[in-house]
Structure 1
């Protein structure tokens, strides 16, 4: 039977080639869409790593500057006490500009035992950073005052950086840096990776440095954890309090919940665009397949009538047309899968292999279902052809 089906397909190879090309293009677009969806879902199901609810970000520009470090520290310590004295402020921390869900980045590199880690996110925060964001500590501890006098510079790394450098082994107490590096850093803790780029985008490895007395010269943001239910009236009071103290500074207050919504919105735009394109292609393929099968039925009424006359059942005729369509889809999917499998093999876009494989399998299933649905009705129409009517028309 398959030999006969392949012969029928080959006899109409020009017509079938166009249909197979449409299926192939649709498969590649669906592969991109499903891969992106799997990537987003894989990131979405991972823990956030901190509690962003009730956390505000205070942006400061044109802040107080002086060459005297003691005066600078006194100025910002006074500001800290003024903010913490407000009744609805639970904790605050001066931090670097690359706060969660912000567009600002600070990337660098790190070498450990000859292994170079690229696109490493560098963060700076105070001892209160952990409580301000309620970060989840997996190993060791967060910074404290004893880190100011330690022999090596203390750092805290996240779970992604630990996996990239130490794998499954212990990280706390290890020294980061190459063998000939004199400025090595000691890992004092490991935290859950913070999804700083939103729910759907992989954050990448991160390393955290402890803010020292000279950091106030460039730390221009404050993370403030407020009590649940803090309203606009309190936000206005906080702004007025800071404006009265920092008279020449520009102050802006943002909420992490709102920043997360904006970050997620911009992350899903590529998927929305790809989904729209794929919908048009799917409709085009469905109409093309449906039209080709309908045309074949009208052109092959004599063949179908003869098969029915010599004893073929309606179900067998219908199955023949459906099988022809499924074989065409299989040939297209074999070619498409060859190109799709190159993505995990070549590590394109640095995504995990299972994301590509799941995306490819979902695309294959979708194409098969599409072809099956589009071929069932024409197959039923072919099965309903009466032998006498078909032969009489011929």
Structure 2
């Protein structure tokens, strides 16, 4: 049966070529959307590195020329003690920016022993940052006031950075105590010493790609960019109405500053909407294009079936049943779709093989996207061939043989 179908397809190769190309393009399009969705789902299931529940973010808004609390440790301590005295607040921490914000800070560092350069994301934080966000250390201990006065800046790094700093088994444990230097500043380079290693820290949320990351300690007297965010761990069940009380307390400490207060869960939901918007737009575009492909495919199959009425009549005259004709039309379309998708897979498999798209198209994403795309194309082929196949199977041998 398969051999017979291949012969029929080959004899009509000039007619089937455009149909095959149309299916191939549809397959590549669906594969791209499915790969984007599969990668998003894969990222969403990865560890976030912290617990945003019951944490509120307070963003301090001042002029660009006067970053808040850049060199005033006493002012930070005043904010900490005043806010911690509120009965609804369990703990207070400071950072450059908040989790779930599209903010970014990175630099290049030289790692021992060969001084290779690595690009690393970074954030400045206070000592209480880790308990406020419920973070857990894989190895080492958080930096603290005991690090005051050190020549090297204490940092906490994630596992991906630890694996580059200390390659091999138990990279997290062996990275603790390691010293490395920055490479983007003139003069004497800054030195950093690892105090602890965390599993991961994805500041920009679940849909951000994991990368080497470091959290460095605010200096006792100065910071690089200022403490522009206050993170408050609130007691469970604290109502949003407390925001007005908190706003009044903050304004009382610094009347000239503006404060934007948001629970991290709200920032998380807002970031999810922004991150998912491209997938939704691409899905709508893909659905529209697939609809156009379906109309074209249906028209071509209708026309091909009409041209083959004498052939169908001859088959019916020599004993083929209506079911045989029906199955033949659908099987031919499935076989044609399979040929087109195999050609597409032969091209697309080069992407994970060569690593052209990096971790964005790893083998798990590739197989998930390929399976979903094949399923959709097979369903599309089935839906488009059902009616032409049914129409062909309903022809009587006499009517078909006398068709002109």
Q: TM-score, normalised on structure 1?
A: 0.89
Q: Give secondary structure in 2 for the equivalent of 1:393.
A: coil
Are 2:284 and 1:276 equivalent residues in the alignment? yes
Partner of 1:92: 92
Distance 1:82 1:137, change over 3 A: same
Q: How does 1:162-311 map to 2 (within 5 A)?
A: 162-165=162-165, 166-172=167-173, 173-177=176-180, 184-215=191-222, 218-311=226-319
| Correspondence for 1:356 among 329, 350, 366 | 366
Q: How does 1:129-140 map to 2 (within 5 A)?
A: 129-140=129-140
State how far apart, in whole Å, the 2-side matches of 1:66 and 1:267 are: 29
Report the Cα offset of residue 385 of structure 1: 2.2
Q: Give secondary structure in 1 for the equivalent of 2:373.
A: helix
Report the Cα offset of residue 174 of structure 1: 4.4
State how far apart, in whole Å, the 2-side matches of 1:251 and 1:388 are: 84
Partner of 1:24: 24
Are 2:353 and 1:345 equivalent residues in the alignment? yes
Partner of 1:393: 403
State how far apart, in whole Å, the 2-side matches of 1:109 and 1:125 are: 19
Partner of 2:383: 373
Q: Give secondary structure in 2 for the equivalent of 1:154.
A: strand
Unaligned regions of 5+ residues in structure 1, if any?
A: none
Q: Is the 8 A contact 1:196 1:203 kept in 2?
A: no
Unaligned regions of 5+ residues in structure 2, if any?
A: none
Q: Give secondary structure in 2 for the equivalent of 1:272.
A: helix
State how far apart, in whole Å, the 1-side matches of 2:69 and 2:286 are: 59
Q: Give secondary structure in 1 for the equivalent of 2:202.
A: coil
Q: Is the 8 A contact 2:95 2:124 kept in 1?
A: yes
Q: Give secondary structure in 2 for the equivalent of 1:116.
A: strand
Size of the alignment, in residue pairs?
390
Q: Is the 8 A contact 1:171 1:187 kept in 2?
A: no
State how far apart, in whole Å, the 2-side matches of 1:220 and 1:291 are: 61
Q: Give secondary structure in 1 for the equivalent of 2:303.
A: helix
Distance 1:177 1:65, change over 3 A: closer
